[in-house]
């Protein structure tokens, strides 16, 4: 299998430094480049002035060191390396000395980038030796090659593009990387030499992460390490690979030998994010120079980046804070709408399932925040043909414990009359049989809301909207839906958290609800056994939420979604189960858009929303043929 579409393997490498010994440094660098090739790395960065060492001080202006660095660079050009790489050295250009990064691929020098901002305070005094990069000429002859020079260079091989900034350039108010990224660079490499101080490392990582987020780019940082002079300073040799605010990989600092960090950067996602943003390139520079280069093609079936199987669900350390924030967003949204329509009452159907439990808990949270009388929150159970005793009893218990007004309105008689009116055979358990019940329940909720002057609350979620797993003008419709952008995999954690906040007898009821199989309960049970299990029909919601997140977050298509899902779930689902769920997801996502086009108001709580008034504007009659062709291609490979 080819490497996953749009992923570029990148390395930040820190060689052990041999101060003022360029040939020894080249040997360290070549060994790291061999390791880069073994891992199918496409882009690698080394630290600032790595060919001689950053702390050579006044030796930097002496001819033996300068000529030794040139010889070392020439040696590097002869190395049989597939990766494009960037190394640092001092270069004399037009009679002036510059702190430079040199980009190389396939023995060709792609360009020279002189450092723009030279620190000259506290422990740094580069201005003692170097000139600022803006004073350099636009080209030079280096190792027998005529090459471009400047901070305005973007190197582009088609698969990816990159620009270079050096150390201090990142720390200034307007880093060169911003201009380079707006001009087309998808990756930034930073050859650096930043010494260690207490707390400095955390700030450095925050800078890198924030800059990669602002620039919607991959960011490779390689800092000078072991072997640099410790006369006054210590260099930890930090190497990190970042993408759009996220650290993908980093080495262990203070290593006494060469080390590196390697990860796959999703440049396809970065391109998607930039297309999605309408402000990203508004101030793009006009005068950047694009340097084209070619790179040998190679493939790899591994994925060197962590891919969460539950992308909507925060990690354990953040989960409670995130769930509390979601409840605050939901409750604030509901209270604002209730205030606007001058009511302190709300009505919802409570089935004893996950979605209605979350809506009930979130609404109760809102009522408590506002000090509204809890009897103004009306929960209605509406047992029908497929309602089980477990879900019904859980619904009744939960409402009693919360203290809201509880109503039980069986729908069997009304639905039977409706079947008689339209000539529906009650033994024919088809779509009309199921949807009639859903619409009857919605009618009851709406009418009771009208009776008391309250809002009819929806209980559907983001996952159901994506798949269209709801009845049009039934549970698809409401007067307001707090959970419209909350996916099924996250709802489980929200319900557990909200139930835990209430404590006491609520907790075991909530745990039993969480343990209940997901079902619409529209078909009568057989011998007490649940007839409908949603995930038996659709496939696992964990898979559907995974597909939804990556399709909306990065534009990932089936050819990318499938291998990413395999890597993320790591054997939890077999290949055929993933493919079957993917086919279902693509088919239903396209055919069910008409339900989303008419969805009621509801707050956006996370990065993914399908509201037709905001994040997702798609024609209801769009065709899925291009996406299905990719699914079929995957199916043929596994047939």
268 and 378 co-located in one domain: no
- Both 442 and 338 in one domain: the answer is yes
In the residue annotation, 115 being an active-site residue is answered as yes
Q: Which of 32-41, 114-123, 406-415 bottoms out in mean pLDDT, i.e. has the lowest?
A: 114-123
User: Is 48 noted as a catalytic residue in this protein?
Assistant: yes
Tell whether 258 and 326 lie within a shared domain. Answer: no
Pairwise CA distance, residues 133 & 109, whole Å:
18
For residue 331, the domain's CATH number is 3.40.50.620
Task: Give domain status of residue 295, yes or no.
Answer: no
**pLDDT for the residue numbered 571:** 94
Q: Is residue 349 assigned to a domain?
A: yes
**pLDDT grade, residue 301 (50/70/90)?**
confident
Decide which of 449 and 287 is more confident.
449
Distance CA 10, CA 83 (A): 9
For range 154-182, the mean pLDDT: 96
> Which of these is catalytic: 28, 48, 228, 464?
48
CA distance 399 to 350: 8
pLDDT band at 527; cut points 50, 70, 90:
low
- Specify whether 262 is located in the same domain as 343: no
- Are 139 and 54 members of one domain? yes
pLDDT tops 70 at residue 147 = yes
Look at residue 206 and tell me if it is in a domain. yes
Q: What is the pLDDT of residue 526?
A: 67
Confidence band of 315 (pLDDT split at 50, 70, 90): confident
Least Cα distance to 365 among 518, 494, 504, 511 occurs for: 494
Residues 161 and 51 in one domain: yes
- According to the model, what pLDDT value does residue 302 have? 87
The Cα 482–Cα 494 span in angstroms is: 13
Residue 220 lies in a domain: yes
pLDDT per position as a tens digit, 396-448: 999 999 999 999 999 999 999 999 999 999 999 999 999 999 999 999 999 99
Name the nearest CA neighbour of 293 among 459, 441, 118, 110: 110
| Position 508 in a domain | yes
Quick check: is 505 catalytic? no
Rounded Cα distance, 259 and 13, in Å: 6
With CA atoms as reference, report the closest residue to 150 among 292, 46, 291, 44: 291
The domain total for the chain is 2
Q: 333 and 261 in one domain?
A: no
Q: Is 98 helix (H, G, I), strand (E, B) or coil?
A: strand
Task: Indicate yes or no: pTM above 0.85.
Answer: yes
Residue 291 lies in a domain: no
Q: Is residue 292 part of a domain?
A: no
pLDDT tens-digit series, residues 557-605: 999 999 999 999 999 999 999 999 999 999 999 999 999 999 999 999 9
Whichever domain contains 21, its CATH number is: 3.60.110.10
Range of the domain at 532: 316-637
Summarize pLDDT for 169-220 with one digit per residue, the tens: 999 999 999 999 999 999 999 999 999 999 999 999 999 999 999 999 999 9
Task: Map residue 89 onto helix, strand or coil.
Answer: strand
Evaluate whether 261 touches 230 at the Cβ level (below 8 Å): no
Average pLDDT over residues 38-49: 97
What is the average per-residue pLDDT within 16-44? Answer: 97
Predicted local confidence at residue 334, as pLDDT: 98
Choose, from 44, 50, 52, 115, the residue flagged as catalytic: 115
Instruction: Encode pLDDT of 537-557 as tens digits.
Output: 899 999 999 999 999 999 999
Residues 78-96: what's their mean pLDDT? 96
Mean local confidence (pLDDT), 115-143: 93
- Residue pair 355/491 in contact by the 8 Å Cβ criterion: yes
Q: Which of 56, 100, 167, 217 is catalytic?
A: 167
């Amino acid at each position: 299998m080819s490497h996953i579409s749009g992923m570029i393997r990148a390395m930040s490498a820190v060689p052990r430094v041999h101060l003022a010994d360029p040939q020894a440094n080249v040997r360290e660098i070549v060994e790291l480049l061999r390791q880069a090739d073994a891992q199918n790395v496409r882009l690698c960065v080394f630290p600032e002035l790595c060919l001689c060492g950053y702390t050579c001080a006044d030796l930097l202006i002496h001819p033996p060191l300068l000529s030794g660095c040139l010889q070392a660079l020439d040696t590097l050009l002869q190395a049989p390396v597939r990766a494009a790489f960037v190394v640092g050295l001092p270069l004399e250009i037009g009679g002036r000395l510059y702190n430079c990064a040199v980009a190389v691929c396939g023995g060709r020098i792609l360009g020279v980038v002189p450092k723009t901002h030279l620190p000259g305070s506290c422990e740094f005094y580069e201005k003692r030796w170097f000139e600022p990069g803006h004073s350099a000429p636009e080209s030079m002859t280096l190792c027998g090659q005529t090459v471009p020079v400047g901070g305005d260079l973007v190197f582009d091989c088609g698969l990816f593009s990159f620009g270079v900034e050096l150390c201090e350039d990142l720390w200034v108010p307007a880093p060169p990387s911003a201009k380079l990224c707006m001009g087309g660079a998808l990756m930034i490499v930073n050859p650096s030499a930043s010494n260690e101080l207490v707390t400095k490392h955390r700030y450095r990582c925050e800078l890198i992460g924030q800059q990669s987020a602002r620039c919607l780019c991959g960011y490779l940082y390689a800092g000078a390490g072991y072997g640099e002079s410790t006369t006054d300073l210590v260099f930890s040799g930090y190497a990190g690979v970042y993408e759009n605010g996220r650290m993908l990989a980093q080495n262990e600092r203070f290593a006494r030998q060469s080390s590196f960090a390697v990860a796959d950067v999703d440049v396809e996602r970065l391109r998607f994010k930039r297309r999605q943003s309408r402000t990203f390139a508004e101030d793009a520079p006009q005068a950047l120079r694009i340097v084209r280069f070619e790179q040998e093609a190679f493939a790899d079936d591994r994925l060197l980046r962590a891919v969460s199987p539950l992308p909507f669900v925060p990690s354990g350390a953040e989960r409670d804070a995130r769930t509390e924030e979601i409840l605050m967003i939901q409750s604030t949204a509901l209270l604002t709408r209730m205030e606007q329509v001058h009511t302190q009452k709300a009505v919802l159907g409570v089935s004893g399932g996950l979605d209605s439990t979350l809506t009930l808990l979130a609404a109760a949270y809102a009522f408590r925040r506002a000090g509204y009388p809890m009897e103004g929150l009306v929960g209605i159970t509406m047992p029908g043909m497929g309602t089980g005793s477990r879900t019904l009893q859980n619904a009744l218990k939960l409402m009693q414990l919360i203290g809201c007004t509880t109503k039980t309105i069986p729908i069997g008689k009304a639905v039977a009359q409706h079947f008689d009116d339209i000539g529906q055979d009650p033994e024919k358990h088809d779509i009309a049989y199921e949807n009639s019940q859903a619409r009857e329940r919605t009618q009851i909720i709406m009418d009771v809301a009208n009776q008391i002057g309250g809002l009819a609350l929806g209980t559907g979620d983001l996952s159901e909207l994506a798949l269209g797993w709801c009845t049009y003008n039934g549970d698809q419709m409401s007067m307001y839906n707090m959970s419209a952008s909350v996916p099924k995999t996250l709802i489980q954690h929200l319900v557990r958290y909200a139930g835990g906040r209430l404590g006491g007898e609520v907790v075991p009821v909530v745990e039993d609800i969480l343990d209940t199989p997901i079902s619409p309960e529209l078909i009568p049970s057989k011998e007490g056994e649940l007839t409908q299990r949603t995930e038996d029909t659709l496939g696992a919601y964990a898979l559907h939420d995974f597909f939804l997140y990556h399709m909306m977050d990065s534009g990932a298509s089936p050819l990318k979604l499938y291998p990413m899902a395999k890597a993320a779930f790591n054997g939890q689902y077999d290949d055929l189960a993933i493919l079957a769920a993917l086919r279902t997801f693509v088919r239903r996502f396209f055919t069910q858009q008409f339900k989303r086009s008419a969805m009621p108001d509801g707050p956006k709580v996370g990065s993914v929303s399908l509201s037709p008034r905001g994040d997702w504007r798609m024609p209801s009659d769009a065709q899925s043929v291009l996406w299905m062709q990719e699914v079929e291609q995957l199916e043929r490979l596994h047939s």
